[in-house]
């Protein structure tokens, strides 16, 4: 039987600022990536988000990002791989403490935003992150863009990996995401988006923006909980997966 | 045979800013309290300080403080006990990740500055911190002002404790430190300071500022590495302790 | 003819985080207090908020707060008066630059949250802030709690003042706001709240929580734009003031 | 008679962290660039540095940088020109408030570190900064790398400019600084460094790393005050300039 993980970023509120429909989306995914206080989140938000994850029975991942709250971790920063790895270590550790307090084990680490995108292409950064995560706990799973340098580096250092795919994004022939600044970057038609995801899981293939079919591994699908429309799309994906006999479950064993 | 721990704050540099004679003082103490990125320290500093502690064979403790770099954690902040406990959890976890990368186990947690002083007097804050630390790892030792609410709360929740004493500070009759704003707050005479410490360890007593003898437990002595004079004083204490057959060792078992 | 200012906090969004119904409330007040990047706001938010104020024709004030984004400036911080004054100077100056870019003159300075509350009671802090503002620009108006130390200090250093009153808060006999932690702190009945405000403006009196009438000066009424209910209440106040022949206008001359 | 400005970065301490020999170098330069709380400096440091500049009679400039204290403003950040310009506005305004308190007028604005280097090459960023500074106060002088996009943009928007040269750095044929990562990036021989500076001022030429002579305008020489060696070099430059009948003076009129 086929299976796949549904993951969503969570715990992105900060102090007085609240964003995301965390309490709703947590009910319909299998894994969550929790912000760790650098690009979003704070200790109180992390504490209650980890607790909510435990109560909802979803698997927890750390979602470390660049130390840039004003830019929400989406602006590139000229950190050396060594610096970036130390920031990742810091954030993963901080979230692990809340996991231990809740009696749960962290499942995975998924870098956020600009860090995710840069690590997907930059081998040195990808290795530095993978080695840092491996040195913290070799049972952690590294989640990254399917087929990217992040995944290759994680495998090379001996970590388990979760290759992540996007339902609503177009792919280039080399497996990278088509930049949002280019035309046809988004899959606007929800039915098509769902069909593409099902095919990625069952056939391991997706049609690139050029029309050519490329191989892709889909361990986890990235979904969003930042609005009613996003939630409805997650439900549509869930229904399609169920109808196709694809089991939705965390990455675990 | 008597024994005592010598502890020193370490890893207080930040980015381009360097303070403390870390590489020297680490050679002459038995435990270090490493800043965790809130009031001082950053991920790179934490990484290299934990590594230095491993190489020097000193025991590592987390030194969480208020999130106030500009005030170096010395300004009070009106955090609720729940908030303060979450910040402590965050910081302890962050440092633990670097400890795991180095293959060492964190020995203790010692709150810093205004957080230390407030927890010493405020039962609610002391309990919130003790419970947070216990929930992260019940084998951690809570270091706090000898006889204070911090120590009482830690014992009440079942944590091991390390009662900390100060060689160069005067005590009030209730065992609290005499405020620096008052006269006679500091023990200026180094010989007297050393004699007081030896007596605290061997007799469990110290003479308060009023002249009255009070009981005190000395598991660890707080020393400083922020200048040549401070380093010389640590060496003087070490020599006196050795001459008195008091073994200097981490808190361990 | 009577006149009064209606003021509202504005520009409290930060980076990716958006709060407040700024574009709506700005249409129905006469002055706005714009966050200056310490407890809320950031340079981009400040830039567009000052521009919106110019376009709406409302007067602009700086709203400096403690440097505590996580606590939204509502947590007390143990800053010395000298430190607090330097932080106020910094923030006022930052906002003034955006005002100059828009070709408008800053009307007033109103400290935020815990800084506002502490300055209302603490003479040293009140003086330090008043002197700092006066040294930046002696034509600035200092807005503070009616009858408080903030107002007294501002008058003493020669600044013009705006005494601020609250429609929905109960007052103690000494003119201070009744703490929210106590019963009867809020005026729940909107009709009563409006009647109280009108009386403060026309008679210069308000009934304290004890039942005793006390004198109060109402130069400006604090209103909120953080939700539909709040906006409706502002409109209700506006209508009542208009019906009572009280002109709503900025503080100016 | 020839004249030139000697400028130095100042006020880079932060909270408990102290760097730079500010009180010494301020005696031997004619202009200072004061950090504005983003990459370095804080409100108290800014206050006392502006005061020291007034007492020493040196001209004051703002030294805005990327909001990255951990990286000291030396790491690139993917800010849009609009974002960067808003951050510059914020920081310039903050420092201006301290200038007004001291009764002095800000002379110039010199971006710091990665912002300086990027603006020197990136026309969009250079224009955004120049326009922001011009909109704050058109009498401000924009200091930037001699011949760079920063200078061109400032001239285009109508600002006065100060073209800055470096005594100890090699130049490429296009007038850019040779990257420190390349060989021969530094002029190690102090005598040669001094001769080069004198020639830049008197002849308006410098020998590029290729051996070819290129034109260069030297309105201000960048010097450092971060150690005894740096201070001695500044004194050596001063003596050489005096011997060559070159007057050292602020940029002013």
Check whether A253 has a pLDDT greater than 80: no
Q: Using CB atoms, pick whichever of A17, A42, A74 lies closest to residue C14.
A: A17
Q: What's the confidence (pLDDT) of residue A183?
A: 92
Q: Using CB atoms, pick whichever of C16, C42, C72 lies closest to residue A16.
A: C72
Q: What's the confidence (pLDDT) of residue D180?
A: 86
Q: Using CB atoms, pick whichever of B17, B42, B74 lies closest to residue D14.
A: B17
Check whether A210 has a pLDDT greater than 70: yes
Average pLDDT over residues A176-196: 92
Question: What's chain A's average pLDDT?
Answer: 96
Give the span between the Cα atoms of A127 and B37, in whole angstroms: 24
Please write the tens of the pLDDT for every residue from A26-59. 999 999 999 999 999 999 999 999 999 999 999 9
D135/C101 touch (CB, cutoff 8 Å), yes or no: yes
Give the count of Cβ contacts less than 8 A between chain A and C: 31
* C-alpha gyration radius of chain A: 17
A177: confidence class by pLDDT, cuts 50, 70, 90: very high
Average pLDDT over residues A140-169: 97
Q: Using CB atoms, pick whichever of B43, B44, B137 lies closest to residue A100.
A: B137
Q: Give the list of residues 6+ apart from residue B2 with CB closer than 8 angstroms, or none.
A: B201, B202, B244, B245, B246, B247
Q: At what angle do helices C43-56 and C81-102 cross, to 10 degrees?
A: 60
Instruction: Copy the structure tokens of residue A209.
Output: 């923006």
Spell out the domain ranges in chain B. Answer: 2-248
Q: Where are the alpha helices (DSSP H) in chain D?
A: 22-25, 43-56, 81-102, 113-121, 123-136, 149-157, 190-203, 228-243
- DSSP strand E in chain A: where? 2-10, 31-35, 59-63, 108-109, 141-145, 160-166, 205-207, 213-215, 220-223, 246-248
3 state DSSP class of D76:
coil
Please write the tens of the pLDDT for every residue from B153-176. 999 999 999 999 999 999 999 999
Asked which of A179-188, C11-20, C44-53 is least confident by mean pLDDT, the reply is A179-188
Q: What is the ipTM of this complex?
A: 0.96
What residues of chain A lie within 8 A of the CB of B87, using their CB?
A: 43
Average pLDDT over residues B13-28: 96
Q: D14, D17, D65, D114: which to substitute to probe chain B, counting the most B Cβ within 10 Å?
A: D17
What residues of chain C lie within 8 A of the CB of B70, using their CB?
A: 67
Check whether C253 has a pLDDT greater than 90: no
Q: What's the confidence (pLDDT) of residue D7?
A: 98
Give the count of Cβ contacts less than 8 A between chain A and B: 77
Chains in contact with C, where contact means 3 or more Cβ–Cβ distances below 8 Å, are A, B, D
D252: confidence class by pLDDT, cuts 50, 70, 90: confident
D136/C90 touch (CB, cutoff 8 Å), yes or no: no
What residues of chain C lie within 8 A of the CB of D82, using their CB?
A: 44
C75/B79 touch (CB, cutoff 8 Å), yes or no: yes
Per CATH, the number for A2-248 is: 3.20.20.370
Using a CB–CB cutoff of 8 Å, tell me whether D71 touches chain B.
yes
Using a CB–CB cutoff of 8 Å, tell me whether A100 touches chain B.
yes
Chain B residue with CA closest to D74: the answer is: B16
Percent of chain B with pLDDT over 90: 96
Chain D residue with CA closest to C15: the answer is: D83
Let me know: does B204 contact B216? Beta carbons within 8 Å: yes
Chain D residue with CA closest to B74: the answer is: D16
D253: confidence class by pLDDT, cuts 50, 70, 90: low
Q: Give the list of residues 6+ apart from residue A193 with CB closer than 8 angstroms, or none.
A: A167, A168, A187, A233
Let me know: does A98 contact A46? Beta carbons within 8 Å: yes
Please write the tens of the pLDDT for every residue from C131-181. 999 999 999 999 999 999 999 999 999 999 999 999 999 999 999 999 888
Q: Using CB atoms, pick whichever of D89, D97, D136 lies closest to residue C90.
A: D97
Let me know: does C136 contact D101? Beta carbons within 8 Å: yes
Using a CB–CB cutoff of 8 Å, tell me whether A79 touches chain D.
yes
Let me know: does A108 contact A163? Beta carbons within 8 Å: no
Those of residues 120-179 in D touching chain C at CB distance below 8 A are: 132, 135-137
B79/C71 touch (CB, cutoff 8 Å), yes or no: yes
Q: Using CB atoms, pick whichever of D43, D87, D96 lies closest to residue C86.
A: D43
C72/A15 touch (CB, cutoff 8 Å), yes or no: yes
Let me know: does C61 contact C35? Beta carbons within 8 Å: no
A75/D78 touch (CB, cutoff 8 Å), yes or no: yes
What residues of chain A lie within 8 A of the CB of B95, using their CB?
A: 93
Give the span between the Cα atoms of A16 and B29, in whole angstroms: 42
Give the span between the Cα atoms of D107 and D142, in whole angstroms: 9
- pTM over 0.95? The answer is yes
Q: What's the confidence (pLDDT) of residue A180?
A: 86
Q: What residues are paired with D32 via a beta bridge?
A: D8, D60
Q: Which run of H or E residues covers position B177?
A: none
Q: Which of A34, A190, A5 is nearest to A102 (CA)?
A: A34
- What spatial distance separates the first Cα and last Cα of chain B, rounded to whole Å? 15
Question: What's chain B's average pLDDT?
Answer: 96
Using a CB–CB cutoff of 8 Å, tell me whether C38 touches chain D.
no
Cα of B68 to nearest chain C Cα, Å: 8
D75/A75 touch (CB, cutoff 8 Å), yes or no: no
Check whether B252 has a pLDDT greater than 80: no
Give the span between the Cα atoms of C197 and C167, in whole angstroms: 6
DSSP assignment letter at C175: S
- Burial of residue D181 (CB within 10 Å: 0-12, 13-18, 19+) is exposed
Cα of C141 to nearest chain D Cα, Å: 16
Using a CB–CB cutoff of 8 Å, tell me whether A181 touches chain D.
no
Please write the tens of the pLDDT for every residue from D123-154. 999 999 999 999 999 999 999 999 999 999 99
What residues of chain A lie within 8 A of the CB of C74, using their CB?
A: 16
Name the CA dihedral angle for A75, A79, A81, A87, rounded to a multiple of 10 degrees. Answer: -80
Using a CB–CB cutoff of 8 Å, tell me whether C93 touches chain A.
no
Q: What's the confidence (pLDDT) of residue D143?
A: 98
Cα of B242 to nearest chain D Cα, Å: 35
Q: Using CB atoms, pick whichever of D15, D42, D72 lies closest to residue B15.
A: D72
Average pLDDT over residues C116-144: 98
Please write the tens of the pLDDT for every residue from B74-131. 999 999 999 999 999 999 999 999 999 999 999 999 999 999 999 999 999 999 999 9
Using a CB–CB cutoff of 8 Å, tell me whether B66 touches chain D.
no
D72/B16 touch (CB, cutoff 8 Å), yes or no: yes
What residues of chain A lie within 8 A of the CB of C14, using their CB?
A: 14, 17, 69-70
Check whether B253 has a pLDDT greater than 80: no
Give the span between the Cα atoms of C136 and A91, in whole angstroms: 41
Please write the tens of the pLDDT for every residue from C179-215. 888 999 999 999 999 999 999 999 999 999 999 999 9
Q: What's the confidence (pLDDT) of residue A120?
A: 97
Judged by phi (left if over 0) then psi (alpha if -120 to 50, else beta), residue C126 lies in: alpha
């Amino acid at each position: 039987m086929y299976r796949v993980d549904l993951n969503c970023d969570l715990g992105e509120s900060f102090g007085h600022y609240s964003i995301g429909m965390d309490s709703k989306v947590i009910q319909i995914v299998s894994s969550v990536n929790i912000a760790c206080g650098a690009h979003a989140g704070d200790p109180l938000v992390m504490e209650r988000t980890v607790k909510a994850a435990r109560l909802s029975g979803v698997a927890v991942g750390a979602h470390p990002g660049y130390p840039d709250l004003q830019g929400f971790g989406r602006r590139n920063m000229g950190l050396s791989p060594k610096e970036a790895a130390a920031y990742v270590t810091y954030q993963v550790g901080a979230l692990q403490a809340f996991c231990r307090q809740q009696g749960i084990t962290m499942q995975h680490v998924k870098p956020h935003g600009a860090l995710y995108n840069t690590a997907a292409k930059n081998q040195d950064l990808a290795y530095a992150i993978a080695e840092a995560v491996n040195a913290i706990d070799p049972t952690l799973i590294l989640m990254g863009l399917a087929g990217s340098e992040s995944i290759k580096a994680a495998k090379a250092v001996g970590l388990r990996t979760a290759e992540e795919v996007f339902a609503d994004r177009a792919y280039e022939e080399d497996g990278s995401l088509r930049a949002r600044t280019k035309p046809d970057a988004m899959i606007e038609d929800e039915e098509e988006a769902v069909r593409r995801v099902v095919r990625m899981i069952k056939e391991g293939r997706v049609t690139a923006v050029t029309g050519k079919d490329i191989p892709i591994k889909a361990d986890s699908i990235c979904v969003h909980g930042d609005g009613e429309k996003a939630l409805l799309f997650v439900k549509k994906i869930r229904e399609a997966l169920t109808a196709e006999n694809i089991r939705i479950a965390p990455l675990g064993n």
